[in-house]
Homo-oligomer: A and B are copies of this chain.
Amino acid sequence: MPSGSVSGERIHVQVRPPTIDDVADAAGVSTATVSRVLNGGRVAEATRSRVATAMAQLGYRRNPHARGLVTGSSGTIGVLVPDVAGPLYAQMARGIEDVLDPLGMQFFLATDARNPERSHAALGSLLERRVDALILIGNQIPSDALRALIGDRAPLILVERETNDDVAAPTIELDNHGGAEAATRHLIERGYRRIAHVAGPRRAGAARIAGYHAAHAAAGLTAGPTIPAGFTEESGLAAAETLLGYDDVDAVFCINDRVALGLMHGLIGGGRRPGHDVAIVGFDDLPFARYLNPPLTTVRQDARALGRCAAEYAIAALEDRSPPHTTVVPTELVIRASSPMARG
């Protein structure tokens, strides 16, 4: 015998969420009819509204598990990024959300921290979730391993892939070469003659190095020193040490804004004035760039657009419209005070 409820007592019952059966009962129709209302099938208007009322009253939400079980799809996309904390990756995620959200789709975000082992594990758990498609950003898994892992489970979209072997999948890339070339050409046009490059690793880094050289070649100039670095302020700071050794360098093109920031810091510490003694150009146009002292000339990339593009391709692939094989997203040079006309 259940104990009587004491006045003021509040019994917490975990209520079972309403099912399609509950709705069908409430509306006096079959579950098939409710399902048709849900999925936009042919239903008499009167019936439809009765069902709609019942759903609203019960606060019905369809169960995605049951739905996924029968349809074989999850309405979900898996996104693998190197690092959630990178502002550019966050922007890409935002772009992906821009297109998924209106479609009622969501995405799982996983990170691999550029670690191959972690990469495999993350991809595994994404596939485990039965994502309908996969967007891989800055990925480094070799193409054969990728294929072995993914097979035909889900269409694949690659963004800024970091290896050179070809994968039979739509790829979206930033115009790293063009951006670097434009940045370097800008410095040349402003009268700088000894332009160093603080370079980044991997594929994107290599493309920017190539662009840097191309601009020199086009102007009939000899490229300056290339100093290898990473992607953070810290490695920019380290590059400054090296650069302070060259007193003929009058401009530096940096692999990105964060490196440029570290570099500027180091140069100032070494008694050189960015924007006066030495011109600086970055890459990315992070929010802080225009507020630096001096404001940083840089190559803007629209990471959000990249994300949007990737998501659109993913949707296209799901709908059997095959997306283009390779897309290159343009960059834009933003000129600020860190690269004035050379005093020469």
Neighbouring B residues of A65 by C-beta, 8 Å: 64-69, 74, 130
Neighbouring B residues of A91 by C-beta, 8 Å: 85
Task: Give the nearest-CB partner of A17 in chain B.
Answer: B153
Task: Give the nearest-CB partner of A75 in chain B.
Answer: B129
Neighbouring B residues of A86 by C-beta, 8 Å: 90
Contact A64 B293 (CB under 8 A): no
Neighbouring B residues of A291 by C-beta, 8 Å: 233, 236-237, 261-262, 264-265
CA distance A292 to B292 in the complex (A): 8
Neighbouring B residues of A111 by C-beta, 8 Å: 94, 97
Contact A130 B288 (CB under 8 A): no
Neighbouring B residues of A293 by C-beta, 8 Å: 264-265, 268, 293
Neighbouring B residues of A62 by C-beta, 8 Å: 128
Partner of A287, one of B84, B129, B258: B258
Q: Which of A102-110, A134-142, A208-216 contacts B (4 or more CB under 8 A)?
A: A102-110
A-B contact pairs, 23 of them (CB 8 A): A15-B152, A59-B151, A61-B124, A65-B74, A66-B69, A69-B69, A84-B94, A85-B94, A90-B90, A93-B109, A94-B111, A97-B111, A104-B125, A106-B110, A106-B129, A233-B287, A233-B290, A258-B288, A262-B291, A265-B291, A265-B293, A288-B288, A292-B292
Q: A42 within 8 Å of B by Cβ?
A: no
The bracket for how many chain A residues form the interface is: 35 or more
Chain A residues in the interface with B (C-beta under 8 A): 12-15, 17, 59, 61-69, 74, 84-87, 90-91, 93-94, 97, 101, 104, 106-111, 124-125, 127-130, 151-153, 232-233, 236-237, 258, 261-262, 264-265, 268, 287-288, 290-293, 295
CA distance A15 to B152 in the complex (A): 7
Partner of A61, one of B14, B87, B127, B152: B127
Task: Give the nearest-CB partner of A12 in chain B.
Answer: B152
Given known A65-B74, A265-B293, A288-B261, contact A152–B14 (CB-CB < 8 A): yes
CA distance A223 to B235 in the complex (A): 41
Contact B108 A84 (CB under 8 A): no
Q: How far is the CB of A268 from chain B (nearest CB, A)?
A: 6
Neighbouring B residues of A110 by C-beta, 8 Å: 97, 106
Given known A152-B12, A291-B233, A293-B293, contact A90–B85 (CB-CB < 8 A): yes
Neighbouring B residues of A15 by C-beta, 8 Å: 151-152
Task: Give the nearest-CB partner of A274 in chain B.
Answer: B293
CA distance A108 to B129 in the complex (A): 12
Neighbouring B residues of A17 by C-beta, 8 Å: 153
Nearest 5 pairs between A and B by C-beta?
A65-B68, A65-B69, A265-B291, A85-B90, A65-B65
CA distance A287 to B256 in the complex (A): 14
Neighbouring B residues of A258 by C-beta, 8 Å: 287-288
Partner of A130, one of B12, B64, B233: B64
Task: Give the nearest-CB partner of A66 in chain B.
Answer: B69
Task: Give the nearest-CB partner of A108 in chain B.
Answer: B106
Task: Give the nearest-CB partner of A111 in chain B.
Answer: B97
Q: How far is the CB of A92 from chain B (nearest CB, A)?
A: 9
Contact B90 A287 (CB under 8 A): no
